């Protein structure tokens, strides 16, 4: 069974064609996309041989290897684009994800993109918006003490602009409990940070206070 984080990535896959799982590691996501019947074929790619051996083992053991293509590739550079409708890049830093997208020209051809950055999430949002990608939705997944952001995006060639709040916190539907829990988590983080910097960087402290104020409105009363 997939972790909630990878299950959310799988949920956002369109299932209209071939999904490519970039940085597949053990190919758990790729295997589940096939097992569940969502995809008829997957590409499991990774930059390193070790993870690809693990991917092959998973796909062999689950009897799904015939419907899988295992590709050694830095990002999408060696991945064949034919029939690829979905690209998932999960479990990597925001800068690495942006770099992978930047180096791939066919990602602009109506591909459904699912991103699960572990770090530098606001950097990734800004990069996407500046480089012609539309952030269609964002989800939050809560696993134990950790929150994970999953972004669904597509290239449309337009320059997009989000609000300061959306760049820093996210473009979520605030009706979900996990999103509200994430809001409370970010609120307490920002409260500490704004105190720490209020003397040395009052403008930054003001930004944090603005974000906290908006979180409070989105989540409702939270003290």
Ligand X SMILES: C[S@@+](CC[C@H](N)C(=O)[O-])C[C@H]1O[C@@H](n2cnc3c(N)ncnc32)[C@H](O)[C@@H]1O
Give the binding site for ligand X (CB under 6 A).
6, 22-25, 46-48, 51, 74-75, 90-92, 96, 100
Residue number, 75 or 183, with CB nearest to ligand X = 75
Cβ 77 vs Cβ 105: under 8 Å? no
Pick 4 or 195: Cβ nearer ligand X:
4
| Least distance CB 101 / ligand X (angstroms) | 11
Q: Which is nearer to ligand X, 87 or 179 (CB)?
A: 87
Shortest Cβ distance from residue 51 to ligand X (Å)?
A: 4
Residues 6+ apart with CB under 8 A from 161: 129
SS3 81: coil
Q: How many Å apart are CA 98 and CA 91, to the nearest integer?
A: 13
- Name the nearest CA neighbour of 187 among 197, 175, 179: 179
Nearer to ligand X, 50 or 220 (CB): 50
Q: Which of 71, 128, 55 is nearest to 97 (CA)?
A: 128
């Amino acid at each position: 069974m997939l972790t909630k984080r990878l299950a959310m990535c799988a949920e956002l896959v369109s299932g209209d064609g071939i999904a490519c799982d970039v940085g597949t590691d053990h190919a758990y996501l790729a295997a589940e996309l096939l097992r569940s019947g969502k995809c008829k074929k997957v590409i499991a790619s990774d930059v390193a041989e070790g993870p690809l051996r693990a991917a092959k083992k998973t796909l062999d053991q689950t009897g799904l290897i015939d419907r899988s293509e295992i590709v050694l590739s830095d990002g999408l550079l060696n991945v064949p684009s034919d029939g690829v409708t979905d690209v998932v890049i999960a479990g990597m830093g925001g800068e690495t994800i942006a770099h992978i997208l930047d180096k791939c020209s066919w990602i602009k051809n109506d591909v459904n993109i699912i991103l699960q950055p572990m770090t530098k999430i606001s950097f990734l949002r800004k990069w996407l918006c500046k480089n012609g990608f539309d952030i269609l939705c964002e989800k939050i997944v809560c696993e134990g003490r950790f929150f994970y952001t999953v972004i669904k995006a597509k290239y449309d060639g337009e320059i997009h602009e989000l609000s300061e709040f959306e760049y820093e916190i996210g473009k979520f539907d605030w009706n979900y409990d996990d999103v509200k829990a994430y809001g409370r988590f970010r609120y307490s983080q920002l409260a500490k940070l704004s105190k720490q910097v209020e003397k040395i960087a009052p403008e930054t402290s003001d930004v944090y206070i603005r974000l906290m104020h908006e979180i409070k409105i989105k989540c409702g009363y939270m003290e």
